[in-house]
Amino acid sequence: MSADQLLIIEDERLLRDELQRHFQNAGWDVAAVEDLAQARERLSEKGLDPLLVLSDLSLPDGSGLDLLEERRAMDDPAEWIFLTGYGTVPDSVRAMNLGALDFLQKPVSLERLELVIAGAARSARAQRSLREHGDRAHQRYSVDAFLGSSPAALQTRSLLRRLASVDMSSLLIEGETGTGKGLAARILHYSGLRSTGPLVEVNCAALPSELLESELFGHEPGAFTGARGKHRGLFEQARAGTLFLDEIGEMPIGLQAKLLKAVEDRRIRRVGAEKETEVDVQVVTASNRDLEAMVAEGHFREDLFHRLSVLRMELPTLRSRREDIPELVWAAIDEFNARGATEVKVVPDTVWERLRAYRWPGNVRELRNVIERSVLLSTSSVLSERWLNLSGSSGDEAVGDPSAIVLPLDGRMSLDQMEERIISEALQREDGNVSAAARLLGVTRQTLRYRIEKHELTPED
């Protein structure tokens, strides 16, 4: 593997030679020039493609900021770090607005510079990986990637096509687990106006709340224990592209105000920073929870909900478009045949009956998982019913399932009574442990506590 390229632009010969020697010894492929003219020649005529650029601010033939602005207009993703002996506040602001990673005062120690370069290299490699992934994803995530010929699927594709044609600041995608919210977000990015920019995805439920702020907005050195270098957050990594926040309902309410400001003002402040940084990002959020109910319960900010849901789409369940099951099944069979070197070509009528009759609580994701298992475990060209492992084929999966709760739908119980029954049953099964019952029901402990008080229950009930 060839070494990463580092371009050094420095007019002081002794410093330039020292930096070139040091970073070559550290494993970099270093190109060192003394002015902007030489830098432009190396970048254009000689095809230099640096991962990082380390540049003096004031050069004999102009400002390094002018070259950075030129390269940004050419969609050059390289990370830039500036060195200066007398930088001004306007210079610093302009550098940050152009996406420079850091702005260091001379003299700077090699130890300090190594730390900054290491952090910049991680960020630049991530950006380059995202761009390479994006080139492949353009073909994969067209609007037609949302499969189906049902009215619900056709309507969803039509809406995706319309949304992809506008430069929206924010969008909320709603739908049950497994309906394809992540797929919709990728379609909107790779088929949209920001397809040349990066798509950065984060599951808000997968990160501890104490790390989420730093991951989203970045941090300065020393902002907290362990913050040794500057970290560019996901908002900045998604510059000129899309930031997809999945499970937005799991974001701590204390962090929601900062997200609202970022979406409204298109400016963020790194943890520990004194100045704000402009970010040009399209924010797509998704949730399988009822955010309006969370607003009413005080678990989600109303102003943030209204800001995120200016544009809003809800994905249909698989139950509402059963006629799409054959198309989805064959697409999955083709994919998993290729992945597992299997040759499943026949789906028996009994399998189709089971697939059409099942309720699919996990929607398309569950269907794909079932087909993947059945294809990869097959020993012939026939998709065996043996590996479906569906809990029932009549839609009455609850019958005989010890984890199920049966509720009458003949008017004997109101919706509130049903909710009280479900909560009581969950508490009983978990011996009054509220945290365990919350996990069982797929809600936060705070939400369950609110509903326990609403129904005047106690864990012992």
- pLDDT per position as a tens digit, 247-260: 999 999 889 999 99
**Per-residue pLDDT, 396:** 45
Query: Could you give the 3-state DSSP secondary structure of residue 84?
Result: strand
Of the candidates 411, 336, 322, the one whose C-alpha atom is nearest the C-alpha of residue 376 is 336
- pLDDT per position as a tens digit, 353-401: 999 989 898 999 999 999 999 998 888 899 988 888 886 544 444 444 5
**Per-residue pLDDT, 303:** 95
Name beta bridge partners: 287: 174
* Average pLDDT of every residue of the chain: 86
Range scoring the smallest mean pLDDT among 214-228, 254-268, 364-378: 214-228
Are 389 and 370 in contact by the 8 Å Cβ rule? The answer is yes
**Per-residue pLDDT, 271:** 83
Q: Which helix (H) or strand (E) holds 234?
A: helix 234-237
Q: For the chain, which domains are there?
A: 5-131 (3.40.50.2300), 141-314 (3.40.50.300), 318-387 (1.10.8.60), 415-454 (1.10.10)
Would the pLDDT of 128 be above 90? no
Would the pLDDT of 290 be above 50? yes
Question: In 247-301, which residue ranges form alpha helices assigned H by DSSP?
Answer: 253-265, 291-296
| 396 or 282: which leads in pLDDT | 282
212-236 per-residue burial string, b: 16 or more CB within 10 A, e: under 16: bbbbbbbbbeebeeeeebbbbbbbb
Task: Write the Ramachandran bin of 152: left for phi over 0, alpha for psi from -120 to 50, otherwise beta.
Answer: alpha
CA dist., res. 33 & res. 40, Å (int): 10
**Per-residue pLDDT, 394:** 43
- pLDDT per position as a tens digit, 389-439: 886 544 444 444 556 676 665 556 677 777 888 888 888 888 888 888 888
Residue 285, both tokens: 């959020």
Would the pLDDT of 29 be above 80? yes
Distances in Å between the Cα of 118 and the Cα atoms of 52, 112, 125, 349, 415 are: 10, 10, 11, 59, 57
Distance of alpha carbon 112 from the chain centroid: 31
Q: What is the dihedral of CA 287, 293, 296, 300, to 10 degrees?
A: -10
Q: What percent of the chain has pLDDT over 70?
A: 90
In this prediction, residues 332-361 reach a mean pLDDT of 91
10-14, 208-212, 391-395 — most confident range: 10-14
In this prediction, residues 275-302 reach a mean pLDDT of 92
